[in-house]
């Protein structure tokens, strides 16, 4: 397939920085073709990359000129940037960043929700390096990488070493979710992708709100590798249909926190009670990212 006349935009992360919101919004633009499922993981997972580019391209409507994929694993997994460069000729990248320690807590809460985490947030941070060191199947790399995924500049430099910086649009998570800032930001996104600005007529979808599980048994059937899950995957071979069924079951098996103010207070208390070394880590990452991205991140610094 000759891709020279096609334009690809990759929203490569970071995880828990609004990529689901971005995906749901971009789906509404008729000039863009996105995969039916948010993340194909084609460039980040060996077994999928080995299926070949034709397998990947089947996820898009190639009658359109502009292709777009949202997949935060592309920022974090090694070798992904080189695979993209080797496969796609005309491309741009959008990267959304969030205050590193806030992003870490958000991932921690997601892992708790999925049944992958039983430690307190502080204990999980304290054992993260050991978990990653002993990780033989990428489980902790994917689910327990709370601090490692926040080392933004390290990940970004892998891309900037082989792609020109002009191919990147850097976004601050706060601006994406801010009523006062997001219209201007959406206009910048449309200009960067080179599509008309009809996205401005849509409200930003509210995605991935904090939820709690009703039944841990149902949750474990969805997220743990069990024989029953393998049978279900065999009986429903379509990735899109499986994803839709999973979302439906998840919606019935979860509920929003009844007191959002209390939930936010709990989160704030967890962050402010962290030892100084994690606050210093956050500030160091913010300072480095500000220099590389050009974003004003002064409000991410803890005094």
pLDDT tens, residue by residue, 85-130: 999 999 999 999 999 999 999 999 999 999 999 999 999 999 999 9
Contact (Cβ atoms closer than 8 angstroms) between residue 152 and residue 286: no
Contact (Cβ atoms closer than 8 angstroms) between residue 87 and residue 43: yes
Lowest mean pLDDT among 102-111, 158-167, 173-182, 262-271: 262-271
- In the structure, what pLDDT confidence band is assigned to residue 37 with cuts at 50, 70 and 90? confident
- How confident is the model over 44-89, as pLDDT tens digits? 999 999 999 999 999 999 999 999 999 999 999 999 999 999 999 9
Q: Residue 64: what pLDDT?
A: 94
Nearest CA among 13, 29, 16 for reference residue 71: 13
Backbone angles phi and psi of 171, in degrees to 5: -125, 140
> What are the CA-CA distances from residue 189 to residues 14, 85, 181, 199, 238 (Å)?
16, 22, 13, 9, 31
Contact (Cβ atoms closer than 8 angstroms) between residue 132 and residue 144: yes
Q: Residue 36: what pLDDT?
A: 84
Angle at 213 between CA 211 and CA 216, to 5 degrees: 155
Instruction: Tell me: pLDDT of 224 over 80.
Output: no
Contact (Cβ atoms closer than 8 angstroms) between residue 94 and residue 11: yes
> What are the CA-CA distances from residue 235 to residues 210, 230, 272 (Å)?
31, 9, 47
The residues near 181 (Cβ < 8 Å, ≥ 6 apart) are 174, 175
- How confident is the model over 280-303, as pLDDT tens digits? 999 999 999 999 999 999 999 987
- In the structure, what pLDDT confidence band is assigned to residue 212 with cuts at 50, 70 and 90? low
Q: Residue 209: what pLDDT?
A: 54
- In the structure, what pLDDT confidence band is assigned to residue 259 with cuts at 50, 70 and 90? very low
């Amino acid at each position: 397939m000759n891709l020279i006349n096609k334009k690809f935009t990759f929203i490569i992360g970071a995880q828990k920085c609004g990529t689901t919101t971005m995906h749901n919004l971009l789906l509404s633009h008729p000039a863009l073709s996105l995969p039916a499922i948010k993340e194909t993981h084609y460039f980040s997972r060996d077994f999928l990359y080995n299926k070949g580019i034709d397998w990947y391209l089947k996820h898009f409507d190639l009658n359109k000129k502009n292709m777009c994929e949202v997949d935060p694993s592309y920022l974090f997994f090694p070798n992904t940037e080189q695979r993209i460069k080797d496969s796609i000729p005309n491309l741009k990248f959008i990267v959304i960043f969030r205050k590193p320690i806030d992003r870490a807590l958000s991932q921690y809460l997601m892992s708790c929700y999925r049944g992958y985490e039983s430690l307190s947030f502080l204990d999980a941070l304290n054992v993260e390096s050991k978990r990653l060191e002993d990780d033989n199947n990428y489980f902790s790399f994917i689910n327990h990488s709370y601090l490692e995924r926040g080392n933004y500049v390290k990940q970004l430099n892998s891309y900037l070493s082989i792609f020109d910086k002009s191919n990147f649009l850097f976004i601050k998570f706060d601006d994406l979710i801010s009523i006062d800032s997001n219209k201007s930001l959406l206009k910048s996104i449309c200009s960067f992708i080179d599509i008309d600005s009809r996205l401005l007529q849509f409200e930003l979808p509210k995605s991935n709100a904090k939820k709690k599980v009703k039944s841990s048994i149902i949750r474990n059937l969805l997220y743990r590798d069990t024989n029953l899950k393998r049978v279900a995957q065999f009986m429903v071979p379509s990735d899109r249909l499986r994803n839709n069924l999973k979302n439906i079951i998840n919606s019935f098996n979860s509920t929003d926190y009844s007191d959002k103010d209390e939930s936010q207070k709990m989160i704030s208390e967890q962050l402010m009670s962290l030892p100084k070394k994690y606050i210093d880590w956050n500030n160091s990452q913010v300072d480095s990212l500000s220099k590389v991205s050009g974003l004003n991140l002064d409000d991410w610094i803890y005094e």
